[in-house]
Amino acid sequence: MRVLMFGWEFPPHMSGGLGTACFGMTKAITDLGHDVIFVLPKVNGVKEKTHVKLVSAADIPVSTRTAESSDTDVALTSGLVDFGRLTIRPIHSVLSPYLTSFQYENLLQHSSTGIVDREQAAEYKWFLGNAGGYGPNLLAEVARYGDVAGAVATQYAFDIIHAHDWMTVFAGLIAKKASGKPLVLHIHALEFDRSGENINQDIYEIERSGMEGADRIIAVSNYTKQRIVSLYNIDPRRISVIHNAVSQVEARQIYHMPSKNGGRKVVLFLGRITFQKGPDYFIEAAAKVLKVLPDITFVMAGTGDMMPRMVERVAELGLGKNFHFTGFLRGADVEQMFAASDLYVMPSVSEPFGISPLEAMLYDVPVIISKQSGVTEILKHALKVDFWDVDEMANKIIAVLKYPVLFDDIVERSREEIKHIRWEAAAGKIVDVYRDLMH
């Protein structure tokens, strides 16, 4: 079958789990012998430095009119995607999965406030300087993107439409209207996850209209399904739970450092430094751990609107000597960061799924995850804490660092566990949903 997918990001320019998930499932769906037309927002023409060799646009046998997209080049040339079955269709837009209204407006004003990293700011500057006609605010841009992307539906033949999260809801609904084909809305995060109780009502309404207009909703966890039912009043029978997986690329193992205990042990937080990810709880736990184990290094990798406050808090607690901020990491840097870590902590306040612990496990790093995450539903060999229970988080961090038998046991069993969390299986379930809707 042919799938029209409104997705996000391709390697190596991933800003979070949404891109990772889109990439993993798309590859697995094409591997199953289905065709995917992948539509994504893209700022064109920017040449960014990457760790992977780029090939010229002329070499890319894809039917896109804007083929200089470096993101897609990389995915295709690295052999990760069967490009015979994949059509990439970038749409001009500055949208990115985790953009907030505030950031968008800042971008429009060409201001670099430190919220977006320097590289990104330069990119947007270029973009805004060279193009025009973008929405005056984020919502307007999302609507505009929906119109343009949805219009793609008239250019291709396909059997099913698959959209990911609120920013692609308009595109999905428009494509459904134009084609009459069934729409699957895949929910990776809700406005309630991103913003807690202080939700943006407009975004909530977009999510709700997407859920009501879709023929089926895929939730990345039971946790998210329940929230969709209770917060959006959606019939649970219209929701299928399909847990995410992780791409198991053997090459990643070359980064593994067999003797991690050479220097100081490293405890890692890697994710957006935003309310949703609970970075503040990580810092409070670190302070408690350092009181009894002063020789540990804590690393906070990523960027986000809470970063300035977090830097301040670390200074306030006097943890600077043992606490590092790396800024936004990409590609090989992420892999090396995982490989150099002795423990990964995901203290998310509300995490619909959470792919990053699975990635950490690929590098033989034990993980502590918050009970308020979807991934907890499929992981047995992870330590679990309530995100707010800083004492218990510290207790478990110490336990992993202090009891080698515990560390070894978790790593050994995680290795087995992760083998069974594959995109092939998740993609199979997604295709089952497609089939269900087509008959």
Partner 1 sequence: MPGICFYFQVHQPLRLRHYSYFDIDHVHAYGDMEQNRAILNKVSEKCYLPANRMMFDLIERHEGAFRIAYSLSGILLDQLETYRPDVLDSFRQLADTGCVEFLNETYYHSLAFIFSPEEFKKQVMLHKDRIKTLFGQTADTFRHTEFIYNNDLAAAAEDMGYKCILTEGADKILGWRSPDFVYQPQGCRHLKLLLRNYRLSDDIAFRFSNRQWPEYPLTVDKYAHWIHKAGEEGRIINLFMDYETFGEHQWQETGIFEFMKNLPDALLKQPGFQFQTPREIAADQSPVASLDVPQFISWADVERNLTAWLGNALQRDASRTLYDLEQSVVSCGDEQLLHIWRCLQTSDHLYYMCTKWFSDGDVHKYFNPYPSPYDAYINFMNIMDDFSRQLDKKRSNDPNHINTTKRSLSNDNKPAGLSI
User: What does the angle CA 387 – CA 388 – CA 389 come to, to the nearest 5 degrees?
Assistant: 95
Q: Which is nearer to partner 1, 43 or 285 (CB)?
A: 285
Give the footprint of partner 1 on residues 278-337 (CB under 8 A): 288, 292
Q: Which amino acid is at 8?
A: W
For the bound state, the minimum distance from the C-beta of residue 133 to partner 1, rounded and expressed in Å, comes to 54
For the bound state, the minimum distance from the C-beta of residue 360 to partner 1, rounded and expressed in Å, comes to 16
Q: For 370, how many CA atoms within 13 A lie in the half-sphere containing its CB?
A: 25
DSSP 202-224: HHHHHHHHHHHHSSEEEESSHHH
**Residues belonging to the chain:** 439
Q: Which is nearer to partner 1, 171 or 394 (CB)?
A: 394
By the rule CB under 8 A, 395 interacts with partner 1: yes
Query: What is the DSSP pairing of strand 160-164 with strand 343-346?
Result: unpaired
Q: What would the two tokens of residue 182 be?
A: 């069934």
Q: CA nearest 206: which of 150, 144, 139, 276?
A: 139
For the bound state, the minimum distance from the C-beta of residue 395 to partner 1, rounded and expressed in Å, comes to 4
CA 331 from chain center: how many Å? 14
Q: CA nearest 271: which of 189, 386, 379?
A: 189
Stretch that binds partner 1, among 151-159, 210-218, 378-386, 424-432 (CB under 8 A): 378-386
Strand partners, 3: 36, 160
Q: Which is nearer to partner 1, 288 or 324 (CB)?
A: 288
Stretch that binds partner 1, among 36-44, 220-228, 407-415, 425-433 (CB under 8 A): 407-415
Separation CA 418–CA 142 (nearest Å): 36
CA 42 from chain center: how many Å? 16
For the bound state, the minimum distance from the C-beta of residue 231 to partner 1, rounded and expressed in Å, comes to 26
For the bound state, the minimum distance from the C-beta of residue 419 to partner 1, rounded and expressed in Å, comes to 15
Stretch that binds partner 1, among 80-88, 96-104, 336-344, 375-383 (CB under 8 A): 375-383
For the bound state, the minimum distance from the C-beta of residue 409 to partner 1, rounded and expressed in Å, comes to 5
By the rule CB under 8 A, 392 interacts with partner 1: yes
Q: Pick one of 406, 411, 425, 437: the residue that binds partner 1 (CB under 8 A).
A: 406
Q: Which is nearer to partner 1, 238 or 381 (CB)?
A: 381
Stretch that binds partner 1, among 50-58, 175-183, 325-333, 390-398 (CB under 8 A): 390-398
Q: Which is nearer to partner 1, 127 or 344 (CB)?
A: 344
Q: What would the two tokens of residue 17 be?
A: 């789990």
Give exposure, 5-29, as e/b (b: 16+ Cβ within 10 Å).
Answer: bbbbbbbbbbbbbbbbbbbbbbbbb
Q: Pick one of 94, 340, 394, 431: the residue that binds partner 1 (CB under 8 A).
A: 394
By the rule CB under 8 A, 384 interacts with partner 1: yes
By the rule CB under 8 A, 396 interacts with partner 1: yes
Q: CA nearest 1: which of 149, 155, 157?
A: 157
Q: For 372, how many CA atoms within 13 A lie in the half-sphere containing its CB?
A: 17
The 10 Å Cβ neighbour count of residue 132 is: 6
Q: Which amino acid is at 200?
A: N
Strand partners, 164: 186
Give the footprint of partner 1 on residues 127-166 (CB under 8 A): none
Q: What would the two tokens of residue 359 be?
A: 């990635």
Separation CA 202–CA 211 (nearest Å): 14
Stretch that binds partner 1, among 203-211, 277-285, 330-338, 397-405 (CB under 8 A): 397-405
For the bound state, the minimum distance from the C-beta of residue 403 to partner 1, rounded and expressed in Å, comes to 6
By the rule CB under 8 A, 408 interacts with partner 1: yes
For the bound state, the minimum distance from the C-beta of residue 149 to partner 1, rounded and expressed in Å, comes to 44
Q: Pick one of 266, 283, 410, 421: the residue that binds partner 1 (CB under 8 A).
A: 410
Stretch that binds partner 1, among 161-169, 254-262, 339-347, 399-407 (CB under 8 A): 399-407
Q: For 18, how many CA atoms within 13 A lie in the half-sphere containing its CB?
A: 22
Q: Pick one of 136, 403, 432, 436: the residue that binds partner 1 (CB under 8 A).
A: 403
Residues that bind partner 1 in the complex, under the rule CB under 8 A: 288, 292, 380-381, 383-384, 391-392, 394-396, 398-399, 402-403, 405-406, 408-410, 413
